[in-house]
């Protein structure tokens, strides 16, 4: 009976993934076969110069972002993990700020800073150094959006380095750099590789940043798929391109799931104690780390807040919040996000418990581990399949439910629930099995063990996953753009509509709305996550 329950536990998320993700992908695959029958072969992606450039650039911008994030993020992580200074905890608390900001808001922040009319972009353009129609806006946007992930992973990894091993290396005469390279880096490398896999997936399958910052020449595959479907009505070609991208990124998702499983193995180490900075060199390192975070992660947010404040104080920006369409968009955003969060939390919880149950299977040596690895990877399928691909696939599979509330909320939840599943799975992996075994020995039933023992111990991870899921739902753009009715306009689609209209007033309105959406996402994130300790591992 217990084994039967373990097999039935994944039924809910499995059915949800099958209906909301697998079915749309298979429908796009069918469109691809139709294209092949019409003479547009599967290899046309690699034979067409335009499409080949799109694929190459999509990989290149994701890879460049990973390298830049590693080169900038690892030194910053070392400073935060090894040095104790005033404001350190606040920096760690704000470290995930760019990540919870909606993608469309992040893109507007980059434009407000480096765009043709931005604070720094306008003087550069006047000096003949315009960044328009260059790859740098998109690369900077990617870095703004993902540097915090690498820094957070680096801090967590450095806190897992054994202090006795570092002390032994220094006692034997190793310099600080040699001790880092020979002792700390081997322990940190798997964590960084895991974080960079996630960064690559985010950059490769991103849509909002590429749409606003890439321009015509440096648009990515996701923008190309959107163009093929929305403007050219070339569903078959778009299906072939989407399936190729799914195959190429699926390998990255499997590698990420495998590394997450290895890193989640319980273990105890004596961490290296943080010290106050000593000497000008270490204080310079602290200043440099803070400067990097401010320039890459803080400046775009400050720029968008300042531009919005200017529009409110010296323009008509405040009037946008009094318009009926804005109030309707705010209501739609809130209700869609709340419904999606409830569904995503349920799916993520069941998914994580299913992974735990598969790990415990002992029928065939290695069978449980293999199933658990595949099920872990399944949680990241929404990261591999882009929102654009999901949205168009859903329209093709369920034409009778087009612009229905259930389909829209389901798509929201599909993109949000991996955060809950990932956070809970990591927490359950690090939870000693002896706790539940002790409760069971005392006569507690499985559900009572879960409610009284397991859930309180993983509640912090659950709140954190829900916080990221809420921020994702509030800022979702692609799904809202293609699956909603005109009367279901959300704040993200309303911002995009203002950007598409000429005039400075519409730009001011978009900036004010973006600032409001950013504050809403931050309130939701901090309200759900609550207080966290300094040593907690972030999602």
Return d(Cα 381, Cα 507) in angstroms, integer. Answer: 35
Does the pTM surpass 0.85? The reply is no
Residue 56 pLDDT > 70, yes or no? yes
Q: Let me know: does 466 contact 341? Beta carbons within 8 Å.
A: yes
Tell me the per-residue pLDDT of 456-477, one tens digit each, with 9 for 90 and over. 777 888 888 898 899 889 988 8
Residue 379 pLDDT > 60, yes or no? yes
Q: Let me know: does 194 contact 153? Beta carbons within 8 Å.
A: yes
Indicate the SS3 state at residue 368: helix
Closest by CA to 196, choosing from 71, 302, 76, is 71
Mean pLDDT, residues 334-360 taken together: 86
Tell me the per-residue pLDDT of 196-255, one tens digit each, with 9 for 90 and over. 888 888 888 888 888 888 888 888 888 888 887 777 666 677 777 777 777 777 777 777
**φ, ψ (nearest 5 deg) of residue 275:** -130, 155
Indicate the SS3 state at residue 275: strand
Average pLDDT, the chain: 81
Mean pLDDT, residues 506-520 taken together: 89
Question: Which stretch of DSSP H or E encloses residue 532?
Answer: none
User: Measuring CA to CA, how many Å separate 485 from each of 228, 280, 472, 480?
Assistant: 21, 59, 20, 9
Tell me the per-residue pLDDT of 152-171, one tens digit each, with 9 for 90 and over. 889 988 888 878 888 888 78
- The DSSP 8-state label assigned to residue 83 in this structure reads B
Closest by CA to 88, choosing from 98, 99, 77, 97, is 77
- Report which of residues 206 and 32 the model is more confident about: 206
Mean pLDDT, residues 2-24 taken together: 75
Rg, C-alpha atoms of the chain? 24
- Flag the least confident range among 193-207, 278-292, 318-332: 193-207
Q: Let me know: does 355 contact 425? Beta carbons within 8 Å.
A: yes
Domains of the chain, start order: 62-529 (1.10.3720.10)
- The DSSP 8-state label assigned to residue 357 in this structure reads H
Return d(Cα 43, Cα 127) in angstroms, integer. Answer: 45
- Report which of residues 69 and 40 the model is more confident about: 69
pLDDT recorded at residue 278: 86
Return d(Cα 391, Cα 410) in angstroms, integer. Answer: 11
Residue 2 pLDDT > 80, yes or no? no
Instruction: Report the percentage of the chain scoring pLDDT > 90.
Output: 18
Return d(Cα 14, Cα 3) in angstroms, integer. Answer: 18
Tell me the per-residue pLDDT of 382-401, one tens digit each, with 9 for 90 and over. 877 778 878 878 888 888 88
Tell me the per-residue pLDDT of 403-430, one tens digit each, with 9 for 90 and over. 788 899 999 999 998 889 888 887 877 7
* Token pair 């499409």: residue: 51
Return d(Cα 198, Cα 66) in angstroms, integer. Answer: 9
Residue 19 pLDDT > 60, yes or no? yes
pLDDT recorded at residue 63: 93
Q: Let me know: does 201 contact 256? Beta carbons within 8 Å.
A: yes
- Region of 130 (left: φ > 0; alpha: ψ -120 to 50; beta: rest) is beta
- Report which of residues 53 and 265 the model is more confident about: 53
Mean pLDDT, residues 485-504 taken together: 86
- The DSSP 8-state label assigned to residue 422 in this structure reads H
* Token pair 């749409």: residue: 211
Closest by CA to 192, choosing from 147, 148, 143, 157, is 157
Residue 35 pLDDT > 70, yes or no? no
Q: Which pair of structure tokens corresponds to residue 148?
A: 């915090």
Q: Which pair of structure tokens corresponds to residue 155?
A: 């801090």
77-111 burial code (b ≥16 CB/10 A, e <16) = bbbbbbbebeebeebbeebbbbbbbbbbbbbbbbb
pLDDT recorded at residue 33: 67
Indicate the SS3 state at residue 444: coil
pLDDT recorded at residue 275: 86
User: Measuring CA to CA, how many Å separate 32 from each of 40, 69, 207, 241?
Assistant: 8, 36, 22, 8
Q: Which pair of structure tokens corresponds to residue 279?
A: 């000497």
CB atoms inside a 10 Å sphere around CB 39: 7
- For the chain, how long is the longest CA-to-CA vector? 76
Tell me the per-residue pLDDT of 112-153, one tens digit each, with 9 for 90 and over. 888 887 888 878 878 778 777 788 999 999 999 899 989 988
pLDDT recorded at residue 262: 62
pLDDT recorded at residue 14: 85
- Report which of residues 250 and 512 the model is more confident about: 512
Exposed, middle or buried by CB within 10 Å (0-12, 13-18, 19+), for 535? exposed
């Amino acid at each position: 009976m217990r084994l039967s329950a373990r097999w039935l536990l994944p039924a809910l998320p499995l059915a949800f993934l099958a209906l909301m993700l697998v079915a749309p992908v298979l429908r796009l695959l069918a469109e691809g076969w139709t294209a092949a029958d019409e003479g547009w072969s599967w290899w046309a992606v690699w034979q067409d110069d335009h499409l080949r450039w799109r694929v190459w650039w999509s990989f290149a911008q994701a890879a460049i972002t990973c390298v830049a994030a590693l080169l900038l993020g690892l030194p910053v992580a070392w400073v935060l993990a090894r040095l104790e200074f005033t404001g350190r905890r606040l920096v760690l608390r704000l470290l995930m700020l760019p990540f919870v900001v909606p993608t469309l808001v992040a893109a507007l922040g980059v434009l407000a800073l480096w765009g043709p009319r931005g604070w720094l972009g306008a003087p550069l353009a006047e000096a003949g150094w315009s960044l328009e129609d260059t790859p740098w806006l998109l690369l900077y946007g990617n870095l703004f959006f993902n540097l915090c992930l690498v820094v957070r992973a680096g801090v967590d990894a450095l806190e897992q380095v054994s202090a006795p091993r570092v002390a032994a290396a220094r006692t034997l005469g190793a310099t600080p750099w040699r001790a880092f390279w020979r002792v700390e880096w081997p322990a940190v490398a798997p964590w960084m590789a895991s974080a960079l896999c996630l960064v690559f997936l985010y950059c490769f399958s991103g849509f909002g940043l590429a749409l606003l910052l890439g321009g015509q020449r440096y648009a990515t595959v996701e923008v190309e798929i959107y163009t093929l479907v929305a403007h050219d009505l070339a569903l078959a070609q778009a299906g072939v391109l989407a399936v190729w991208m799914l195959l190429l990124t699926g390998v990255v998702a499997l590698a990420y799931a495998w590394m997450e499983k290895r890193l989640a193995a319980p273990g105890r180490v004596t961490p290296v104690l943080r010290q106050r900075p000593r000497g000008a060199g270490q204080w310079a390192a602290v200043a440099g780390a803070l400067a990097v975070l401010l320039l890459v992660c803080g400046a775009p947010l400050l720029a968008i807040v300042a531009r919005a404040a200017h529009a409110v104080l010296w323009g008509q920006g405040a009037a946008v919040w009094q318009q009926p369409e804005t109030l309707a968009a705010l209501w739609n955003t809130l209700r869609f996000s709340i419904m999606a969060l409830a569904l995503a939390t349920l799916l993520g919880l069941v998914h994580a418990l299913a992974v735990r149950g598969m790990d415990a299977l002992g029928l065939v040596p290695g069978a449980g581990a293999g199933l658990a690895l595949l099920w872990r990877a399944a949680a990241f399928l929404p990261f591999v399949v882009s929102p654009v691909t999901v949205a168009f696939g859903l329209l093709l599979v369920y034409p009778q439910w087009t612009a229905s509330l259930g389909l829209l909320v389901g798509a929201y939840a599909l993109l949000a629930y991996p955060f809950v599943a990932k956070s809970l799975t990591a927490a359950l992996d690090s939870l000693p099995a002896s706790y539940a075994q002790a409760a069971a020995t005392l006569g507690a039933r499985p559900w009572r063990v879960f409610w009284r023992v397991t859930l309180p111990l993983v509640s912090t991870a659950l709140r954190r996953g829900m916080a990221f899921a809420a921020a994702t739902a509030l800022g979702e753009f692609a799904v809202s753009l293609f699956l909603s009715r005109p009367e279901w306009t959300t704040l993200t689609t309303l911002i995009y509509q203002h950007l598409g209209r000429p005039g400075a007033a519409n730009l001011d309105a978009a900036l004010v709305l973006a600032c409001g959406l950013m504050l809403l996402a931050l309130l939701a994130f901090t309200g759900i996550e609550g207080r966290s300790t300094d040593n907690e591992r972030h999602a």
